[in-house]
A = this chain, B = another copy of it.
Amino acid sequence: MDEPQPAPTPSPRELAQRILAGERAALARGITLVESRRPDHRDQALALLQELLPHGGKAIRIGITGVPGVGKSTMIDALGSHLTGQGHQVAVLAVDPSSTRTGGSILGDKTRMARLAVDPHAFIRPSPSSGTLGGVAAKTRETMLLCEAAGFDVILVETVGVGQSETAVAELTDLFLVLMLPNAGDELQGIKKGIIELADIVAVNKADGDGASAARAAAAQYQAALHILASASPVWQTPVVTLSGLTGAGLDALWARIEDHRSRHEARGLITEKRRRQDVKWMWAMVQERMQARLRHDPQLKQLAPALEAEVASGRLPATVAADRIARALGL
A interface list, Cβ under 8 A from B: 46, 49-50, 53, 57, 138, 141-142, 145, 188-194, 196-197, 221-222, 224-225, 227-232, 276, 279-280, 282-294, 308-309, 312-324, 326-327, 330-332
Q: How far is the CA of A47 from the CA of B282 in the complex (A)?
A: 35
Chosen A-B contacts, 25 in total, with CB atoms closer than 8 Å, are A46-B320, A50-B318, A50-B321, A53-B316, A53-B317, A57-B315, A138-B320, A142-B320, A191-B230, A193-B196, A193-B231, A194-B232, A222-B228, A224-B225, A225-B228, A225-B229, A276-B314, A279-B312, A280-B312, A283-B308, A283-B319, A283-B326, A285-B323, A287-B326, A290-B332
Return chain B residues, CB-CB under 8 Å to A196. 193, 196-197, 229
Copy count, this protein chain: 2
Is there contact, CB below 8 Å, between A283 and B229?
no
Q: How far is the CB of A149 from chain B (nearest CB, A)?
A: 12
Q: How far is the CB of A214 from chain B (nearest CB, A)?
A: 15
Given contacts A193-B231, A290-B332, 4 further A-B contacts (CB under 8 A): A50-B321, A280-B319, A283-B322, A291-B332
Return chain B residues, CB-CB under 8 Å to A294. 332
Lowest 4 CB-CB distances: which A-B pairs, in order? A190-B230, A286-B323, A225-B228, A290-B327
Q: How far is the CB of A147 from chain B (nearest CB, A)?
A: 15
Is there contact, CB below 8 Å, between A191 and B315?
no
Is there contact, CB below 8 Å, between A327 and B287?
yes
Q: How far is the CA of A15 from the CA of B176 in the complex (A)?
A: 52
Is there contact, CB below 8 Å, between A313 and B276?
yes
Is there contact, CB below 8 Å, between A313 and B197?
no
Contact A145 to B318, CB < 8 A, known contacts A287-B327, A290-B323, A323-B283: yes
Is there contact, CB below 8 Å, between B229 and A319?
no
Is there contact, CB below 8 Å, between A230 and B319?
no
Is there contact, CB below 8 Å, between B229 and A53?
no
Q: How far is the CA of A294 from the CA of B287 in the complex (A)?
A: 13
Residue of B at shortest CB range from A34? B320
Q: How far is the CB of A240 from chain B (nearest CB, A)?
A: 11
Looking at A138, A230, A292, the one whose CB has the most chain B CB atoms below 10 A away is A230
Return chain B residues, CB-CB under 8 Å to A141. 319
Q: How far is the CA of A191 from the CA of B142 in the complex (A)?
A: 35
Q: How far is the CA of A233 from the CA of B70 in the complex (A)?
A: 23
Return chain B residues, CB-CB under 8 Å to A230. 189-193
Q: How far is the CA of A321 from the CA of B286 in the complex (A)?
A: 10
Return chain B residues, CB-CB under 8 Å to A319. 141, 279-280, 282-283, 286
Contact A309 to B283, CB < 8 A, known contacts A196-B229, A318-B53: yes
Is there contact, CB below 8 Å, between A291 and B287?
yes
Is there contact, CB below 8 Å, between B318 and A49?
yes
